[in-house]
């Protein structure tokens, strides 16, 4: 996740044959989800846009080479559980929360100091490091690269407009502070975004009737 910005479920679904250590790339095609009555399953991402080839930073390639040298099978998960199967995304999130808790704050601080020292040793600026790792540097880049959003066209922006303005008025929020961008997906709600970007799905805009679209807008407004 640190090296590519993919979601937890997507990173847990990566198999070794999807990693090209020579080219330094990883193919993202699936995600791991827990389905009631079925358990953990590996399924395709929600949209074709979610299936992509990503370049890995050098440190991630080095880490994967170390894991690869320990012995792997091409159809095994890269980040397997103790039995060699898929990890549960919920358990992984819990582990991450523990690592990010106050108990782990010292480790995070030490990591930050080490990264800063390494950056200064190489003589690189923060911007150069971000460019090398292909990390987003602005909120707009974050929206495009991580959330895979795009600006709405004039016709598209007019469709959710009345519902969005009504929600902003009811909550006392200035709608002009926010930009509404589109996420191409078959669901009613888009990924939660940061800052002043509000995401809606093309499916919600073109398929939902006005009263249902209003409910989606209220959900987006509540997340602000």
Cα–Cα distance for residue pair 53/99, rounded to 1 Å: 29
Structural domain range at position 17? 8-99
127 within domain boundaries? no
Q: Which two tokens stand for residue 214?
A: 């209003």
Lateral strand order in the sheet of 179-183: 149-151, 179-183, 197-201
Q: Does residue 17 share a domain with residue 93? A: yes
Q: Does residue 155 share a domain with residue 87? A: no
Q: How many domains does the chain have?
A: 2
Cα–Cα distance for residue pair 127/133, rounded to 1 Å: 10
Comparing C-alpha atoms, which of 49, 5, 46 is closest to residue 188? 46
41-79 pLDDT, tens digit each: 999 987 777 788 888 888 889 999 998 988 888 999 999
105 within domain boundaries? no
106-158 pLDDT, tens digit each: 666 777 788 888 888 888 887 787 777 666 666 667 677 666 778 877 776 67
Do 132 and 178 touch, CB atoms closer than 8 A? no
The helix (run of H) or strand (run of E) holding residue 54 is: strand 52-55
Q: Does residue 152 share a domain with residue 91? A: no
Task: Please state whether beta strands 19-20 and 39-44 pair in parallel, antiparallel, or not at all (unpaired).
Answer: unpaired
109 within domain boundaries? no
């Amino acid at each position: 996740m640190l090296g590519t910005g993919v979601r937890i479920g997507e990173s847990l679904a990566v198999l070794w044959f999807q990693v090209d250590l020579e080219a330094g790339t990883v193919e993202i095609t699936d995600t791991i989800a827990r389905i009631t009555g079925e358990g953990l399953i590996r399924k395709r991402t929600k949209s074709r846009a979610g299936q992509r080839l990503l370049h890995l930073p050098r440190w991630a390639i080095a880490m994967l080479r170390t894991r690869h040298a320990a012995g792997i099978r091409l159809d095994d998960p890269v980040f397997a559980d103790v039995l060699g199967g898929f990890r549960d995304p919920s358990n992984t999130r819990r582990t991450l929360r523990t690592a990010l808790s106050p108990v782990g704050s010292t480790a995070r601080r030490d990591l930050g100091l080490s990264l800063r020292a390494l950056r200064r040793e190489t003589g690189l600026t923060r911007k150069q490091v971000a460019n090398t790792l292909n990390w987003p540097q602005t909120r707009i880049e974050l929206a495009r690269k991580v959330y895979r959003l795009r600006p709405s066209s004039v016709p598209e922006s007019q469709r959710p407009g009345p519902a969005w303005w009504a929600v902003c008025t009811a909550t006392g929020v200035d709608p002009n502070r926010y930009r509404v961008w589109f996420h191409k997906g078959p669901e009613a709600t888009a990924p939660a975004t940061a800052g002043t970007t509000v995401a809606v799905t093309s499916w919600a805009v073109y398929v939902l009737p006005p009263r249902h679209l209003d409910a989606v807008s209220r959900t987006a407004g509540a997340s602000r």
